[in-house]
């Protein structure tokens, strides 16, 4: 069966609206809890000093935004979290309120290819597992570059695949068969967790994506493989 990897914004928004209430549970379950560690690595890579205003694009249920203002490794002063899924934002708002972070995290609906802020608004930007869902990732990267001030940093977390042959075979089997089955069972959504592995396999990783960040205007763009290459952390800097 061929799985559609169409990234039509309305389709993606509907899909995430449908799975929003079970999204966090599945993230923690299917990643064996590593998702929390990956977000901490991204925030640490941005080197916050307590003064930064940060854009968290594709914020989802707000976990990365919350990590950015509560991290022991250094906190941002303020985060604007944007997403085009209203249900995800609704859940994020509940988390922010319960954590008493309303004064430091602001949430809004927004599209990564047309960020509703002026040039040079932010000191840093970040995306966790959302860039591959954007209709035009290159346009989104150009937008991140535009809204960052000179010297601003961008961190992107995105899935990849391990390079070690044995681990790669095991992981791809899990990713293609176990993950969709568990995702369907828990989320009750037929397509979302089939789209996930298909979209990951279709997305460029490593130097291929780092090169696209440089093409978008970033002076440097590097990457690290986390957890054997299951996830890639990209860090880019605007001159």
CATH code of the domain covering residue 232: 3.40.50.150
Domain containing 13: what range? Answer: 9-237
Q: Is residue 2 part of a domain?
A: no
User: How many domains are there within the chain?
Assistant: 1
Q: Is residue 1 part of a domain?
A: no
Q: Is residue 31 part of a domain?
A: yes
Q: How confident is the model at residue 177 (pLDDT cuts 50, 70, 90)?
A: confident
Q: Is residue 99 part of a domain?
A: yes
Q: Which residue would you say has higher pLDDT here, 214 or 8?
A: 214
Q: Is residue 4 part of a domain?
A: no
Q: Do residues 89 and 162 touch, judged by C-beta distance below 8 A?
A: no
pTM of the model: 0.93
pLDDT at 3: 65
pLDDT at 2: 58
Q: Is residue 160 part of a domain?
A: yes
Q: Judge residue 187's burial from the number of C-beta atoms within 10 Å of its C-beta, 0-12 exposed, 13-18 middle, 19 or more buried.
A: buried
Residue 53 has pLDDT above 60, yes or no: yes
Q: Is residue 208 part of a domain?
A: yes
Q: Which two tokens stand for residue 135?
A: 């209709």
Q: How confident is the model at residue 163 (pLDDT cuts 50, 70, 90)?
A: confident
Q: Do residues 96 and 126 touch, judged by C-beta distance below 8 A?
A: no
Q: Is residue 219 part of a domain?
A: yes
- Residue 30 makes CB contacts below 8 A (sequence gap 6+) with 179, 182, 183
Mean pLDDT of 88-93: 97
Mean pLDDT of 64-78: 97
Q: Do residues 34 and 41 touch, judged by C-beta distance below 8 A?
A: no
């Amino acid at each position: 069966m061929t799985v559609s990897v169409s990234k039509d914004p309305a389709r993606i928004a509907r899909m995430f609206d449908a799975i929003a209430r079970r999204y966090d549970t599945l993230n923690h379950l299917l990643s064996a809890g590593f998702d929390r560690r990956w977000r901490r690595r991204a925030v640490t890579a941005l080197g916050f000093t307590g003064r930064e205003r940060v854009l968290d694009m594709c914020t989802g249920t707000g976990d990365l935004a919350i990590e950015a203002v509560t991290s022991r490794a250094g906190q941002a002063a303020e985060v604007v979290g944007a997403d085009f899924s209203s249900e995800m934002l609704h859940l994020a708002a509940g988390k922010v309120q319960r954590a008493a972070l309303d004064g430091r995290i602001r949430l809004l609906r927004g599209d990564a290819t047309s960020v509703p802020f002026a040039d040079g608004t932010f000191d840093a930007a970040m995306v966790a597992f959302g860039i591959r869902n954007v209709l035009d990732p290159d346009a989104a990267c150009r937008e991140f570059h535009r809204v960052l001030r000179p010297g601003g940093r961008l961190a992107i977390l995105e899935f990849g695949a391990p390079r070690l042959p044995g681990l790669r075979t095991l992981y791809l089997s899990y990713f293609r068969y176990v993950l969709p089955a568990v995702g369907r069972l828990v989320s009750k959504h037929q397509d979302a967790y089939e789209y996930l592995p298909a979209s990951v396999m279709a997305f460029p990783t490593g130097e291929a994506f780092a090169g696209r960040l440089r093409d978008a205007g970033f002076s440097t763009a590097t990457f690290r493989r986390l957890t054997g290459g299951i996830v890639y952390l990209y860090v880019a800097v605007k001159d």
